[in-house]
Amino acid sequence: MESLAMGKKLPTSVLVGLLVASAITQTVLAQNCGCAPNLCCSQHGYCGQGNDYCGTGCKEGPCFSKSPTGASVASIVSPQFFNGIINQARADCAGKKFYTRQAFLTALDSFPDFGKLGSDVESKREIAAFFAHATHETEFFCYKEEQDKSNSYCEANPKFPCAPGKSYHGRGPLQLTGNTNYGNAGNALKLDLLKNPEMVANDPVVSFKGSLWYWMAAVRPVIGQGFGATIKAINGRLECGVPAAQDKVQRRIRFYTDYCKQLGVDPGPKLSC
């Protein structure tokens, strides 16, 4: 997964690890499956990731073996929990009046399985992990977008060509970056984010949706391997096994263990990458 994460910004700016999503969202018809190790063979014989491939009817690969718990994400992400994070942001932060618990809950309508697969403990661990990474990337929901906008993150991709004059720098809770990610997220959300990437920093619901799409496509498939695997999925190339980046890894872990404690669950094994 680390080869699917794009680079990040300067240490003082909001950092984001990103998915080069073509390998994750493109489907390949495989009559006899034979998918790559990280892909599931759906009930219809296609290779891919996410609930459509790894959920009901999954034939082989990292299939979701667990059924929905019926956990109430709204109850877990209580006003006290959400406000306890965002209230730590500076008073002058653009994100402080942008990100809201209600925007997060509204965005969840597009991702009904988030925080609901496996046991109650696993549900709470996933929620803690998502908010740990979001806290790290946005400084307690302070930033709506990357502070250093000098890089437009436009890469050659005939399927998702960059729109003239548009920048695909990091935006949103997990700082979605790159035209490939914006294109794939836009397709999933039925929004033209290639032509209008600013929507991810201008509409709080779209902002959360973009990050939840990224999470479900890139991180959810490895969530059962421990929090360390989620770090690797998000920014493994630049943080995992990199001595100079261990402070960032430990910071993510601290947020995660703190949120697990708040939610009353053990953080589980394999916290680091």
Whether 4 has a pLDDT exceeding 60, the answer reads no
Report percent pLDDT > 90 for the chain. Answer: 68
The Cα 187–Cα 192 span in angstroms is 7
Q: Which of 122, 137, 145, 146 is catalytic?
A: 137
Cα 54 to chain centroid, rounded: 18
Q: Which amino acid is at 32?
A: N
> Cβ(134)–Cβ(207) under 8 Å?
no
Could you give the maximum distance between any two Cα atoms of the chain, in Å?
Answer: 56
**pLDDT tens digit sequence for 45-81:** 788 887 778 776 677 667 765 555 667 999 999 999 9
Q: Which pLDDT belongs to residue 33?
A: 67
- State how far the Cα of 121 lies from the Cα of 266, in Å rounded to an integer: 8
CATH numbers and ranges of domains, the chain: 2-22+71-263 (1.10.530.10)
Residue 18's pLDDT band (boundaries 50, 70, 90)? very low
Active site residue 137: yes
User: Checking DSSP bridges between strand 5-6 and strand 28-29, what pairing results, if any?
Assistant: unpaired
Q: What digits encode the pLDDT tens for the residues 114-126?
A: 999 788 999 999 9
Q: For residue 67, how many other CB atoms are within 10 A of its CB?
A: 11
The whole-number pLDDT of residue 46 equals 80
Q: Which letter, b or e, does each residue of 137-174 get, where b requires 16 or more Cβ atoms within 10 Å of its Cβ?
A: bbbbbbbbbbeeeeeebbeeeeebebbeebbbbbbbbb
**Measured distance CA(115)–CA(137) in Å, rounded:** 20
Q: Are 66 and 113 in contact (CB under 8 A)?
A: no
pLDDT in tens, 222-240: 998 999 999 999 988 889 9
In Å, how far are 51, 70, 126 from 256, measured between CA atoms?
Answer: 24, 23, 10
Q: With bands split at pLDDT 50, 70 and 90, how would you rate the model's confidence at 205?
A: very high
What pLDDT sits at residue 45?
A: 78
Count H helices and E strands in the chain, helices first.
11, 5
Provide the pLDDT for residue 64: 65
Q: Are 216 and 113 in contact (CB under 8 A)?
A: yes
Q: Which of 269, 231, 262 minimizes the C-alpha distance to 248? A: 231
| Percent composition of the chain: helix, strand, coil (DSSP 3-state, to 5) | 45, 5, 45
